[in-house]
Amino acid sequence: MPIGVQSVIAVGLGALIGSLAPSAGEQMKILGDVFLNLVQVVVLPLVFPLIVLGIARMESVRKVGRIAGKAILYFEIVTTVVLLIAVGLAKLTGIGKGAPVHGADAKDLNGLSQGIDFHALLLNAVPKNIFAAFGEGNLLGAIVFALLVGVAMAAIGEKSAPFASVLESVAAVMFKVVGYVIRVAPLGVLGFISYDVAHYGFGNLRSLLGFIAVVYAGLAIVIGVLFPLIAAIYRIRYVELLKSIGELAGIAFVTRSSESVLAPLMGKLEAFGLSRSTTSFVVPLGYSFNTDGSVLYQAAALVFLANAYGADTSLPALLLMVGVLVILSKGMAGVASSSIVVLIAAGNSLGLPAEGIALLLGVDFIVDMARTGVNVIGNSLAAAVIDSSENRREARRGSRETPHNPAEHEATVLQKEPAQ
């Protein structure tokens, strides 16, 4: 039975257990935690060698910088467009007006950071101990170190061949381990859904149905309009791409963890036809800086709270929200409960009380599933766009180097041939 079908069955069983036996449902969370631990233990040992090898095989350090620059520019542009879609949709529908935010309990936010420490973020990106970074699951730090190692390997050339062979063996073994881990994904799904339904219930659904509907509608617009438009511009087979990664996006949806599919996602994209060097660099980078689903949720939530508290929702105020989120969303890397943390930080910046955010926690697991699935699709498309851009560049360079006049080409060849 396909993993996707098993996961759907697990969702149904989990909802049933969480509804009929809440105490048992809460205890089953351990299945989800074990699955996530299995995923996290293999992510960095696989991602690190793939990034290093991908960069080492690029023709030059200049190409590494070019791909990184293209990726960051793409992330910024698409994130801003997604934010504008979310703010516009939320403003148009007027979500949040009359919401019972005054009955929310801010104690639910205890333990979550009230802001983002960009100083700490920079230190995480440049860890003083790479082994500690691996132990803490610091993906951003691992990416930076892998970048340095890959550039060094490219610089020393053939001398790095033995180390490259070791990394290739490590990557092959880790891919096999990932295959084993994905087989138990339905158990993780069963545990998470049982816990979510038992712990959160559906009490807040009625008052927050409008918010949930707007978030899902916004995500549908992103997947069904924005992404296909981008794919058409770069001549990417978008439907085939969705078919290729659909099962993994589904697993991310129900587990609410994009990390759970990071390793197999890169394998699927490579099988789809993307180069390993591009995929192994862009996808992990996108996990830190390209969270399309999450930023859409945050923008809709801010407008919801502004309407609920009667705050200013004029065009300048909405554009300010977008600007704040463009900056803060790039600080999400490696932060637990990152979407909520960014929402708290943005709310503080705009003067919105934390109590309203506490109300949204009751339905967070419902929207979290969708935004996580969209994050996976968005990063897959980002890798395809950058790869297509590089292929176009290589094609243009090749056409410039090849003479268009056959007679000129023949004359050039004869000149290069030695006299008989």
Domains and CATH numbers, the chain: 3-392 (1.10.3860.10)
Could you report the per-residue pLDDT of 205-242, keeping only the tens digit for each?
666 788 889 999 999 999 999 999 999 999 999 999 99
- How far is it, in rounded angstroms, from Cα 392 to Cα 403? 18
On average, the pLDDT of the chain sits at: 80
Exposed e or buried b per residue across 323-359, where buried means at least 16 C-beta atoms within 10 angstroms of its C-beta: ebbeebbbbbbbbebbbbbbbbbbbebbebbbbbbbb
Lookup: tokens for 216: 């899902």
Got the DSSP string for 163-177? HHHHHHHHHHHHHHH
Nearest-10 crossing angle of helices 161-183, 29-56: 160
> How far apart are alpha carbons 201 and 360 in whole angstroms?
13
Taken in order 95, 346, 43, 73, the sign of the CA dihedral is: positive
Q: Residues 31-83: pLDDT tens digits? A: 888 887 887 788 788 878 888 887 887 766 677 788 888 998 999 999 999 99
Range from 119-133, 147-161, 325-339 that averages highest in pLDDT: 147-161
Burial of 418 (0-12, 13-18, 19+ CB in 10 A): exposed
- pLDDT score of 414: 44
Q: How far does CA 40 lie from the centroid of its chain?
A: 15
pLDDT confidence tier of residue 403, bands split at 50, 70 and 90: low
Helix runs in 94-204, H state only: 118-125, 130-135, 139-156, 161-183, 185-200
At 367, the amino acid letter reads: V
Q: What b/e string do you get for 394-405 counting C-beta neighbours within 10 Å, with b at 16 or more?
A: eeeeeeeeeeee
Point out the least confidently predicted range of 181-185, 266-270, 330-334, 363-367.
330-334
Long-range contacts of 127-133 (CB under 8 A, 24+ apart): none
Give the number of residues written for the chain: 420
Please give the Cα distance from 118 to 333 (Å, whole number).
11
Residue 98, Cβ neighbours under 10 Å: how many?
10
For residue range 293-327, list pLDDT tens digits in order. Answer: 888 988 998 888 888 888 878 888 888 888 878 77
Does residue 127 come out as left (phi exceeding 0), alpha (psi in the -120 to 50 range) or beta?
A: beta
Q: 3-class DSSP state for residue 304?
A: helix
**Structural contact between residues 302 and 352, judged by C-beta atoms closer than 8 angstroms:** yes
Nearby residues of 184 by Cβ (< 8 Å), 6 or more positions away:
35, 38
> With the CA atoms of 88, 292, 246 and 178 taken in that order, what torsion angle do they form, in degrees rounded to the nearest 10?
-160
Query: Running DSSP on this structure, what letter comes out for residue 225?
Result: I
> Would you say residue 413 has pLDDT above 50?
no
Alpha-carbon separation of residue 313 from 211, 285, 296, 309 (angstroms): 16, 33, 17, 11
The answer to whether 139 and 288 have CB atoms below 8 angstroms apart is: yes
Please check whether residue 208 is in contact with residue 301, taking contact to mean a CB–CB distance below 8 angstroms.
no
Residue 233: the pLDDT is 93
Q: Has residue 416 got a pLDDT over 50?
A: no
Is 379 within 8 Å of 286 (Cβ atoms)? Answer: yes
HSE (CB half, 13 Å, CA atoms) of 351?
8
Helix (H, G, I), strand (E, B) or coil at 218: helix
User: How many other C-beta atoms are found inside a 10 Å radius of the C-beta of residue 104?
Assistant: 22
Report the range out of 76-85, 90-99, 114-123, 199-208 with the highest average pLDDT: 76-85
Cα separation, 386 vs 206, in Å, equals 42
